[in-house]
Each structure stands twice: as C-alpha cells, then as structure tokens.
Amino acid sequence: MRVAVLSLHTSPLAPLGGRETGGMNVYVRHVAASLAASGIDVDVFTRRIDPATPAVQPLEGARLIQVAAGPETHLEKEDLVGYVEEFARGVESFRAREALDYDLIHSHYWLAVEAGDALARRWHIPHVAMFHTLGDVKLRARASEHESPARLEAERRLVHSVDHIVAATQHERQLLKQLYRVSPQRVAVIPLGVDLEAFHPRPRAEARAALGLPTQEHGDGHLHVVLAVGRIEPLKGFDILIRALAEMTERDHVRLIIVGGDDRAATELARLRAVADEVGVSDAVSFVGAVPHERLQTYYSAADVVAVPSFYESFGLVAIEALASGVPVVASRVGGLTSTVADGRTGYLIPWRCPGPFAEKLDLLFENESLRAALGAAAARSMQPYSWDAVAASLYDLCQDLVAAPLPAAIAGDG
C-alpha cells in the first residue's frame, strides 16, 4: 500500500511551540513512521517554505516531500487559502514524475483536506481526513476567536465530501454529529499517541538539576513548579493560570514555567506579562520560549503539576505527555481533555474558566505530597494504551478497510 499524507500548512519537522506547530506535527511524524514500519510506503507532502532545504528527505522510514505553493517563505495559515490548488497541482506533478500510484490520501487540517479532496477525485482513491480543530468549535469555545468564512464554509462541505474522518475522541465524534450531521459510522475514533519510551516517570531532582532549578525535595525551601506548555495564544488560557497563581493560599516557593512561543507571539507574551504585573506575580512566572520536543520530557519531570487551562483542546497532547511522565494534570473540562484526564484519579478537571478553581486544586496538590504522588503514579499507568504503535495499528486497519471497500459512485466516476 502507498499512502499520500498531506500536511499543507506545517511540516512535521517544524520546531514545536510556534503558532502553527503542536500536537498535529507530532501526530503526522509518528504516524508516518509507524505506518512505514508496518510496510506501507508513506509520502508526507508539505508546503515548501525554505528553498535551501531538500525537496525530498527521509522521515523516519517515510519520505517528506516539500511542494512549491506560493512564495517559498513562511506564511500565516490565513494567507494560504489561495495556494491550496497550487499545492494540489504540485503533489500531482510529483506523483506523475515519480510514476507512482497512491492507494489512499490521509490529510490533516482543513487546508490539506481541501487539497486532498481534489486529488482523491482525480486519482479515484479513498480520502481519510483528520481536521484536528474545527472553526465552528473554536468559535463556540471562545467568542472572541476569529475564523475566516472560507474556513467555515470549507469545513462544513468537506466533512461530507471525504470518505472517512478520524476523530481523536468520542467528544469530537459527537460534535461532528451535532454540528454537521456527520454519521458516526463515517468517523473513526483514534486518539493521538505518546512516545512511552521518551515520556515516562523520571527522578524530579535529576530533571531540575538539568534545568538549573533547586533540587531540594522537602522542607520550607522546596520549590513547587507548575508547568504549562503550548502555543502562546489567547485560546490556551495562560492568563487564567497566571491569575490563579496570584489566588493561591500558599504561593511562596511556587514558580509557573510557560514553555512555547516564537517571534510572532510577541503581542500575546506582552499581554501575559502585563497580567503577571497586574496581579503581582511577575517574579514567579518564567517564559522560556519554544524548546525541542525531545527536551520537553525534562520539563515535565521537573514539574510538580502540569496545567492545561485551554478554552478548547481537540485532544490535548501536552496532557498525555505529562500524564505519561507521571505528573498529575490540572486542566479545563473541555474537548479531548475530558477523555484523557481522569478527574480525581490522574489529575483534576476544572469546569469553570476562571482562576479560583485552578488555584484551589494547585493548593490541594502542593499541600499533600502523598496525594500528588498517587495521582502521578496512576497517571503513568493510564497512558499505556496510548502508545504510537497502538495508534498506528488502528489507523493501519482503517486504511486497509478503506482501500478494500468500493468507492462511492461520485468519486469512482469523476474524471
């Protein structure tokens, strides 16, 4: 079997923490590698943003193909709509030059799904899509979010045009039914995974020493670390966490470390720093910027608690990486986080988007070391079913079923 994976707006090799990089990049890279290891020929197509990089390069057993579509420089996602057709033509040109026949298209995010829709009809092959986030859902989660009419219209059309949709959680599957009337039979629930060899419990003192943090484990001088990881954008709710820090009963020796952000996050970073100044916790908040994905394990292991105060998360890769690392998670009760964080067993889910409840749970965990340790141990055990091998096996079975099934007449007969 030969599969074309489309990730138009971001490369799986892009460093994490920027505006367009996160769980999707990790998903595409690991799934491509795992499918390749199972014997499938996998080509991952992304838009070329640097003319100095090779057009084709290895990707852990798969191939990464960079397609020229628009200027070969970074563009915001919102500016890529006009290059979708050019991207699709570039993918077709590569296929023709290489004399390849693909058996299935697996596309990620609506821009790539749009390109994949055209290619699937041209090639007469099945198309499975993963949207990762949906514009209508983001608007419901946070009223001040802005989504383009082009995206909203395309997603409402594409959810019915593709052959199958992969949803990360049952919650997302239900949203597809409620918002778009997509039949649950056309939606496979396959979670994002976690690299259990990379993310697993490690000694906290060792991790803190590596980061230059105090390593004292007990006593009045013990530093309590709250970690937050993600893109620096309002939807992530980091301002809620900063305000929660100010509301904690015992906030002496507490530090909030926020990992993520790039040079385009300057405006939001300035806002978050202003919030920290306003509530008097500037000296307890550290913004460390983006870090390589493989180094995140050190940050998770150094933390007492990982907080995910997002307004919405379709899945929440940070949460499962933290849980796999044996760290309890305090998260918003939204989206996919409700499927991965077991309230009261591996962390806590906060139903209100306000600082008080976050502060209350952080206080509880810092006051009770045995509770924190018990939740952390349960967290690590709970992530065993989330290995990338298990995720890829489910996706492999779906691909086999779709390739074996007869195509709908609308696609099979479309010239």
DSSP line for 245-292: HHH-S--TTEEEEEE---GGGHHHHHHHHHHHHHHT-GGGEEEEE---
Tens-digit pLDDT profile for the chain (415 aa)? Answer: 999 999 998 888 776 544 555 678 888 988 899 899 989 999 999 999 988 889 999 998 999 999 999 999 888 888 899 999 999 999 999 999 999 999 999 999 999 999 999 999 999 999 999 998 888 887 886 655 678 899 999 999 999 999 999 998 888 999 999 999 999 999 999 988 898 999 999 999 999 999 999 876 544 558 999 999 998 989 899 999 999 999 999 888 899 999 988 777 889 999 999 999 999 999 999 999 988 888 999 999 999 999 999 988 878 889 999 999 999 999 999 888 998 999 999 999 998 788 999 999 999 999 999 999 999 999 999 998 888 888 889 999 999 999 988 765 444 445 4
Q: Name which of 374, 264, 331 is nearest 18 in CA terms.
A: 264
Q: Which residue has the tokens 């309890």?
A: 328
CA 113/CA 63 separation, integer angstroms: 20
Where do you find CATH 3.40.50.2000 in the chain? 2-193+388-412, 204-384
Q: Name which of 356, 355, 338 is nearest 347 in CA terms.
A: 338
Q: Taking the CB of residue 183, how many other CB atoms lie within 10 A of it?
A: 10
pTM comes to 0.81
Q: Name which of 199, 208, 281 is nearest 245 in CA terms.
A: 281
Q: For 165, phi and psi rounded to 5 degrees?
A: -120, 135
**First-to-final CA distance of the chain:** 23
Enumerate residues 6+ apart whose C-beta is below 8 A from 156: 136, 180
Is 3.20.20.80 the CATH classification of the domain at 204-384?
no
Q: Which CATH architecture has domain 2-193+388-412?
A: 3-Layer(aba) Sandwich (3.40)
- Three-state DSSP state, 31: helix
